[in-house]
A and B are shown apart, each in its own frame.
Chain A
Amino acid sequence: MSGGVDSSVAAALLADEGHDVIGLSMQLYDASGQRDGLPAFGGCCTLDDLHDARRVAAAINIPHYILNFERQFNEQVVSNFVSEYTAGRTPLPCAHCNSDLKFATLVERARGFGADAVATGHYARVEHDATSNRYLLKRGIDPAKDQSYFLFSLTQEQLAHARFPVGDRPKDAVREYARRLALPVADKPDSQEICFIPDDDYAAFVTRHAPEAERRGSIVDESGRVLGRHAGIHQFTVGQRKGLGLSGLAGPAGSSAGAPRAPLYVLSLRPADRAVVVGPKSALERTTLAASGVNWIAAEPQAPQRITAQIRHRHPAAAATVRAMAGRRAEVVFDAPQNAVTPGQAVVFYEGDVVIGGGWID
């Protein structure tokens, strides 16, 4: 229970169905709101969220506990987030948190309390398929809220004990249910972006945790011509256009002086020589990608399979063919070129609403 409306309603629905429900919240980082040893009054949203979870638990009359996972969150999610950015990749911490913390450490704790399953407020669905005797992960029925992309790395064992009570409801209905029960979070705004960086300044967060990331390098075009300097590749992500600081500089190679310059995008990040490679939007397009750490939720395909592939949270899944390879790897060939295939993000394979599997983009 994060203190948001989705997990609150998930808990309320289960309690309403007569299940014996235990509310658990995870404290993932220092929620004391302290700055330099002094409390920063009013500046502490996390603590408020935990209190909201507690108020909801009291309102639906279930026990509630806050588990301190600061150490585990730091080891399993934050350190990966920082090292990915410093390696020139764009991480997806929510997916790591789901498979390595929520559906791992938290589930283990919950079993210690006698729980048979762990439910979350994710917009996704789990179904058992009798034919294949496998648990299937499906998109939530509200297309605008679907979160199956962040759950691709759950194993069969994890899915067997996972419940997503709001996955078969549209968001409006979830809020309506919360209002009907007069839950104190019924009209709380949806959380945005990454929970442990409330100010959205990822670069500053990475610098705080890995000061060595702040190493200057060059911004170059595809031919290697130096267009400018930057203060660390962790400040960039593939497909980024703003914040390159190149205004007033000469256009990329090939453009004639005085001609209107096409906007430049980050094409790739090269940690070896700390170069940020930029170019026109057309150069961002890719038709193939390789993925590693692949998890097959449906059975691993023995032959190339027609799928739709989603390469970031808000990406409309695109028609493609996936081929499973040895060593938990896969290769994806899109029917049409895709913009900004970003290393570190997930590629998730769908067949209709069903998540076939997914992996991390190399």
Chain B
Amino acid sequence: MRVYFDYNATTPLAPEVAEAVAVATRDLFGNASSVHHFGQQAKAALDEARSAIAALVHADPSEIVFTSGGTEADNFAIRGAADALESSGRRQIIASAIEHEAVLNTLKSLARRGWQTTMLPVDQTGIVSPDRLRELLTDTTALVSVMHANNEIGTIQPIAELATIAHARGALMHTDAVQTVGKIPVDVRALGVDLLSLSAHKFNGPKGAGALWIKRGTRLQPILTGGKHERNRRAGTENVPAIVGMGVAARLAAAKMAAESARVAALRDRLEDGILRGVPGTAVNGDPRSRVPNTTNISFDHVEAESLLIALDLDGVAVSTGSACSSGTLEPSHVLRAMGYPAGRVQSSLRFSLGLFSTAEEVDRVISALPPLVEKLRSLSRRHEVAR
């Protein structure tokens, strides 16, 4: 039995989603922009998916723009806002230091074009300080971008409070909610943001579909130019089957959310307790209270996380560290570094993220697999130290 505990990287499709994608791939081949019957069918399917996504985040369907995924949604929010506000004299963007690379590297790209980009630090628990945001904001700040929950440690940020502070200085507020939408209740009005990114494959939907929620009235420049799709906001023929799948996944997530988040949280806590009790020299990274229910990030003293990850995989258990670089090797987590952790702890931390198909049996299997693997790696590195 292989155990998949890497739901924050991507999730398996819910069976209903797989079926809907298959049917749409076969039957809904029409171009949603076409006037005829086939186009109308595709268009109707898109509208249903749009309503489903809107309902999941308590938005109006007209405010949802489909994208190819979370990365495009983040790019659209940040580049679109930058392009729209460039002429207004606002030339600064603030983002938290623990954002996903989709945000961080977009900021780097804008910095090369003369934008001032400012990193908002986090504390030891991985939470940004509203007071620090207040200090960093200026009258030329165009946009503040802070993720709703972090992908590596699951910590939830005080978005509503940050949005109020940003708006007080006339700046737009964006949140990358890729790791919360479908996992916990998300309400765009309650969060008080202007822009929100989400991605289907993080809640048992297909890859290649995501959305940007744009609050009505927000000025945003399209980043993909072409036809008049998505009300002139995002050109390109819509990926109908993937978007249909996203809609089905959104309905499922909304229907099961209360029960499912409690079930997954219980499994996560059982895993966490089991590891902390069964493996000496372990500790949880990030705020243990304010976090999504499916994620735990644990450091294993004196163990190279890269080695433990591979040993676990060879034992049939899939987990991860932070982000992988282009070759697929592991880079030291920028999230844990931003939290001020020493290099040793950063390099010895693993992320376990659970979801729809996770079971107590799987949790117990991981709890019993870890102690001998960790002990073996520790004894080898001790021997190595002695040899030196």
Q: Give residues in A with beta carbon < 8 Å to B.
A: 22, 27, 31-32, 37, 47, 50, 54, 63, 65-68, 108-109, 111-114
Residues of A contacting B112 in the complex (Cβ-Cβ under 8 angstroms): 37
Give me 8 A-to-B residue pairs in the complex whose CB atoms sit less than 8 angstroms apart, sorted by A's number. A27-B327, A32-B326, A50-B327, A66-B329, A67-B329, A68-B306, A112-B307, A114-B311
Partner of B329, one of A22, A27, A109, A112: A27
Question: Once the chains bind, are B377 and A112 in contact (CB under 8 Å)?
Answer: yes
Those 5 A-B pairs whose CB atoms lie nearest each other, nearest first: A68-B329, A66-B329, A112-B377, A27-B329, A112-B307
What residues on B are CB-neighbors of A27 within 8 Å?
A: 327, 329
- In the complex, A72 Cα to B255 Cα: how many Å? 51
Smallest CB gap from A31: residue in B: B327
Tell whether, in the assembled complex, residue A47 and residue B108 are in contact, meaning their CB atoms are under 8 Å apart: no
Closest to B379 in A: A112
Neighbouring B residues of A111 by C-beta, 8 Å = 380
Is the Cβ of A50 less than 8 Å from the Cβ of B376? no
Shortest Cβ distance from residue B380 to the other chain A in the assembled complex, whole angstroms: 5
B231 lies within 8 A of chain A by Cβ: no
Any A CB within 8 A of the CB of B325: yes
Q: How far is the CA of A287 from the CA of B327 in the complex (A)?
A: 48
Q: Given A22-B314, A37-B112, A113-B314, are A66 and B327 also a contact pair (CB < 8 Å)?
A: yes
Tell me, yes or no, whether B330 is within 8 Å of chain A by CB. Answer: yes
Contacts of B325 in A (CB 8 A): 32, 68
Interface centre among A31, A37, A68 (most CB of B within 10 A): A68
Shortest distance between the CB of B139 and any CB in chain A (Å): 29
What is the CB-to-nearest-CB distance from A168 to chain B, in angstroms, rounded to a whole number?
29
Q: Which applies to chain B's interface (DSSP): helix, strand, loop or mixed?
A: helix
Residue of B nearest to A22 (CB): B314
Hey, which chain A residues are within 8 Å of B328, CB to CB? 50, 54, 66
Complex interface: chain B residues within 8 A of A37 (CB): 108, 112
Q: Bound state CA distance, A32 and B310, in angstroms?
A: 22
Complex Cα spacing A22 to B311, Å: 11
CB <8 Å contact, B326 and A68: no
Would A113 and B327 count as touching, CB distance under 8 A? no
Residue in contact with B306 in the complex, picked from A22, A47, A50, A67, CB distance below 8 Å: A67
Contact at B329–A113, with CB atoms within 8 Å?
no
The verdict on A31 contacting B331 (CB below 8 Å), with A37-B108, A108-B384 known, is no
Cα of A37 to Cα of B326 in the assembled complex, Å: 14
Give every chain B residue within 8 A of A109 (Cβ-Cβ).
304, 307
B327, A112: Cβ atoms under 8 Å?
no
8 Å CB contact of A63 from B307, B313, B327, B330: B313
User: Interface residues of B, CB < 8 Å — how many?
Assistant: 21
Q: Supply 12 further A-B pairs (C-beta < 8 A) apart from A32-B326, A63-B314, A108-B381.
A: A47-B327, A65-B310, A65-B313, A66-B327, A67-B306, A68-B306, A68-B325, A68-B329, A108-B384, A112-B311, A113-B307, A113-B314
Q: In whole angstroms, how far apart are the Cα atoms of A27 and B304 in the complex?
A: 16
Q: Are A113 and B311 in contact (CB-based, < 8 A)?
A: yes
- Give the docked Cα–Cα distance between A22 and B377 (Å): 17
CB proximity to A under 8 Å, residues B96-118: 108, 112
B311 x A68 contact (CB < 8 A) = no
Asked if residues A114 and B380 are in contact (CB atoms below 8 Å), the reply is no
Chain B: CB-nearest residue to A68: B329
CB distance from A115 to the nearest CB of B (A): 10
The interface residues of chain B lying within 8 Å CB-to-CB of A50 are: 327-328
Residue ranges of B at the interface with A (Cβ–Cβ < 8 Å) = 108, 112, 304, 306-307, 310-311, 313-314, 325-331, 376-377, 380-381, 384
Give Cα A322 to B381, complex, Å.
38
Cβ–Cβ < 8 Å partners of B108 in chain A: 37
* Given A22-B314, A37-B108, A37-B112; A108-B329 close (CB under 8 Å): no
Q: B residues within 8 A CB of A31?
A: 326-327
B245 → A minimal CB distance (Å) = 27
- Give the one of A32, A50, A65 with max B CB within 10 A: A65
Could you tell me the distance in whole angstroms from the C-beta of A226 to the nearest C-beta in chain B? 47
Residues of B within 8 A of A47 (CB): 326-327
A67 to B380, CA, bound (A): 17
Task: Give the distance in Å from the alpha carbon of A113 to the alpha carbon of B112 in the complex.
Answer: 43
Q: How far is the CA of A56 from the CA of B63 in the complex (A)?
A: 47
Which residue of chain B has the shortest Cβ distance to A20 in the bound complex? Answer: B314
Which residues of chain A are within 8 angstroms of B380 by Cβ–Cβ distance?
108, 111-112
Q: Which residue of B lies closest to A115 (CB)?
A: B314
Q: Which residues of A contact B327 (CB under 8 A)?
A: 27, 31-32, 47, 50, 66
A32 and B326 CA atoms in complex are apart in Å by: 7
CA distance A112 to B306 in the complex (A): 11
Nearest-CB distance from A179 to chain B (Å)?
27
Give bound CA distance, A54 to B329, whole Å.
Answer: 12
**Min CB gap B342→A, angstroms:** 16
> Across the interface, do A113 and B310 meet the contact criterion of CB distance under 8 Å?
yes
* Least Cβ–Cβ distance between A20 and chain B, in angstroms: 9
Q: Which residues of B contact A68 (CB under 8 A)?
A: 306, 325, 329-331
Distance in Å: Cβ of A61 to nearest Cβ of chain B:
14
Across the interface, which residues of B come within 8 angstroms of A32, CB to CB?
A: 325-327
Q: Which residues of A contact B307 (CB under 8 A)?
A: 109, 112-113
The residues of A that contact B310 with a CB separation of less than 8 Å are 65, 113
A108 to chain B, nearest CB (A): 6
Nearest chain B residue, comparing its CB with the CB of A51? B327
Complex Cα distance A65/B307, Å?
Answer: 10
Residues in B neighbouring A65, C-beta threshold 8 A = 310, 313
Expressed in whole angstroms, the Cα–Cα distance for A48 and B65 within the complex equals 36
Shortest CB distance A58–B (Å): 13
Q: How far is the CA of A63 from the CA of B384 in the complex (A)?
A: 26
CA gap between A22 and B307 in the complex, in Å? 13
Smallest CB separation, A14 vs chain B (Å): 16
Contacts of B376 in A (CB 8 A): 112, 114
A172–B76 Cα gap in the complex (Å)?
A: 53
Q: How far is the CA of A112 from the CA of B331 in the complex (A)?
A: 20
* Shortest distance between the CB of A255 and any CB in chain B (Å): 55
